[in-house]
Structure 1
Amino acid sequence: MTFPPLSPVLSPDDLVRHLDHHRITGAVATPREANLRNIQGFLDGDQHQHMGVVRTRDWTFDDVLALMQERVGISADPEHREGQDTISAALALAALERYARVFGEVVAAGGRILFATGHPAGLFPVYARLARVARRAGAHVVRVPDGFPFEDGDVRQIEDVVMVEQYGGLRHTHFPGPMTLSLERLRRDGQNPPDLVVADHGLAGAAGSRGLRTLAIADCNDPGVFVAEAQGQVEVAVPLDDNLPPRVYEPVTAYVLHHAGLDEHV
């Protein structure tokens, strides 16, 4: 039996309008001062901003600012220090199409895919949906051994997505530790490394820095992920506001699946 998709596949122009209308791109909620502060935090090795990224060259503040303008579409004006900043819908759309091509290739090859998020309130349903479709299409969705401690919580895999639990709730995190621990657990369990990691924040940065093929979604205040992409550690980093209500991402997920050549039978 064939089931209809959970949401319609929009044309590129309609998806751009959707992205800007819901402020997934365009005039996003993340302020300029946060973007600039996080660039400096990344360069300083701040524990929340380095995101597990191993730098392979020297980066200056101006280098990273220019990179974020080129790959994300934030303002290029160095005198713009506070107020509204932006994400380019055109850059997001182009990155989504690259993301879809890689995802589709790995699924078609029956590859091993590990899903993980530091944004459980926004991106968890996106990855869970990708995982369901990937499994139906013949990919191997990697299962991490049961929950293990991380700081004052633990790492859990729910609906095939690795996340961090703390005090009975799911936690937003930038830290690379949950990915590092998950990959180590897989190794100790005798499992091969994933052929592809689909993640964000430090979970993507840690995977890419370990040489794993990695797809990421990143906000305009996540410069480390885009540096990792520029260094060839993350294959695709899609610039999107990464913490909106999950329903607004449904057309984004449908677009990725369609361009990956995958039908939804979920």
Structure 2
Amino acid sequence: MLTPADLRAHLLAVRLAGVVATTREASLLSYRLFAARDPRALIGIEPACSWGQRELLALMADRCGVSADPGCVFGQDVIDPDRTLAALDGYATRLALAARRRSPVLLGTGHPGRLLGFYAELADALSAAGCAVLTPAQGRCVDITTRFGLRTHNLHYHRGVGLVRAADPERSGCEPGAHTHSPLPVRTALAAAAEAGEPLPELVIGDHGWACGAGQLGFEVLALADVNDPAPFVGEAEGRVSVVVPLDDGVRGDHYLPLARYVLDRACLSH
């Protein structure tokens, strides 16, 4: 069983926390876009409050441990590993509650190349605990605006985790799925379930648009987020996302598996 000290050492060793690969420039650009209410940065959240760049920087310093100095504009960003650990503990507490209640859950990721394994471990454990792992709108088309224009994707589930794949076979080499910040996949999944009279989730677990889109619709959400994605943290601050774990979302996929083991151990859901 991983101790908090073990996991903290892992976070720092693989740069999930501490000095991370995300640049300060990328983070500040995202804060500017969010303050301007650019949909590329909102990713499904519609802020109730006015969030300027200074307010966002203060929020991210509080939730993630980035520098609160607006004069710090270059270099690598920093995530406080103790904030990551504290958020993972909150994440585990909510997973345990879902398992006790045998709540229906929906899992999805916009970063399947990195995070799919993490969520798949959670899906397996929740299913074993008696939770229904929902897979609505399997195969449904989702048109997503990208930097290359409007692209059609198909909604798929792998080991119970939602993701999108390019509908064009010539672009299907991005398996296991496409990277997207769009909230459209989770909106499509939830709308399909409602229209068919199928169960709706009591808990949504994901990142990017999956987390923000579900939170905006009033579903309880657990999220992972990098420091250049302020939207989930704003959602948490405004009460639409229950827990956000700050971490670098771009490291190797196997580096997230100890985090899955840690939260499942803490939630008493280990196999």
Q: Structure 2-normalised TM-score?
A: 0.92
1:242 corresponds to:
249
| 2:110 matched residue in structure 1 | 118
State the AA in 2 paired with 1:153.
Answer: H
Deviation at 1:40, TM superposition (A): 0.9
Is the counterpart of residue 104 in structure 1 residue 111 in structure 2?
Answer: no
Alignment partner, residue 33 of structure 2: 41
- CA deviations on 1:70-97 (whole Å, 9 max, x unpaired) are 0011111110001111011000000000
Determine if contact 2:137/2:155 at 8 Å carries over to the other structure.
Answer: no
Name the SS for the 2:255 alignment partner.
helix
Correspondence for 2:120: 128
Q: Give the 3-state SS of the residue equivalent to 1:122 in structure 2.
A: helix
| SS, match of residue 140 in structure 1 | coil
C-alpha deviation, 1:137, in angstroms: 1.1
The root-mean-square deviation of aligned C-alpha atoms, in Å, is 0.9
**Equivalent AA in structure 2 for residue 163 of structure 1:** L
Any conservation in 1 of the 2:155–2:165 contact (CA below 8 Å)?
Answer: yes
User: Which is further off, 149-158 or 192-201?
Assistant: 149-158
Counterpart position of 1:230: 237
- Runs ≥4 in structure 1, deviation > 3 angstroms? none
State, as a whole percentage, how many aligned pairs show the same letter.
Answer: 38
Structure 2 counterparts to residues 28-177 of structure 1, below 5 A: 28-151=20-143, 152-166=152-166, 167-168=171-172, 169=174, 170-177=177-184
Higher helix share: 2
Match in the other structure for 2:147 = none
SS in 1 for 2:42: coil
* Aligned residue identity for 2:101: A
- State the distance in 1 between where 2:188 and 2:247 align: 27
- AA aligned to 2:62 is E
TM-superposed CA distance for 1:144, in Å, is 1.3
SS at match of 1:173: coil
Unaligned runs of 5+ in 1: 1-8
| Partner secondary structure for residue 191 of structure 2 | helix
Structure 2's unaligned 5+ residue stretches are: 144-151
Query: 1:43 touches 1:50 (CA, 8 Å); kept in 2?
Result: no
- Any conservation in 2 of the 1:38–1:222 contact (CA below 8 Å)? yes
Measure how far apart 1:14 and its partner are: 1.4
Asked if 2 retains the 8 angstrom alpha-carbon contact of 1:208 and 1:234, the reply is: yes
Aligned to 1:20: 12
Distance across 2 between alignment mates of 1:108 and 1:232: 23
TM-score by length of 1: 0.94
Q: Which residue type is aligned with residue 139 of structure 1?
A: C
Which secondary structure state, in structure 1, belongs to the residue aligned with residue 135 of structure 2? coil
Matches of 1:29 and 1:20, distance apart in 2: 12
**Distance in 2 (alpha carbons) for counterparts of 1:94 and 1:35:** 22
Q: Find the aligned partners of 2:136 and 2:252 in 1 and give their Cα distance.
A: 27
Deviation at 1:142? 0.8
Report the Cα offset of residue 45 of structure 1: 2.4
Could you tell which deviates more after superposition, 221-230 or 243-252?
243-252
Preserved contact between residue 43 and residue 231 of structure 2 (Cα < 8 Å): yes
Task: Answer yes or no: is the 8 Å Cα contact 2:204–2:211 preserved in 1.
Answer: yes
- Residues 17-61 of structure 1: CA deviation (Å, up to 9, x unaligned): 110110000010000000000011112222321110021111111
Is the 2:18–2:79 Cα contact (8 Å) retained in structure 1?
yes
- Residue 246 of structure 1: how far off its partner (Å): 1.4
Aligned to 1:204: 211
In the other structure, the counterpart of 1:263 is 270
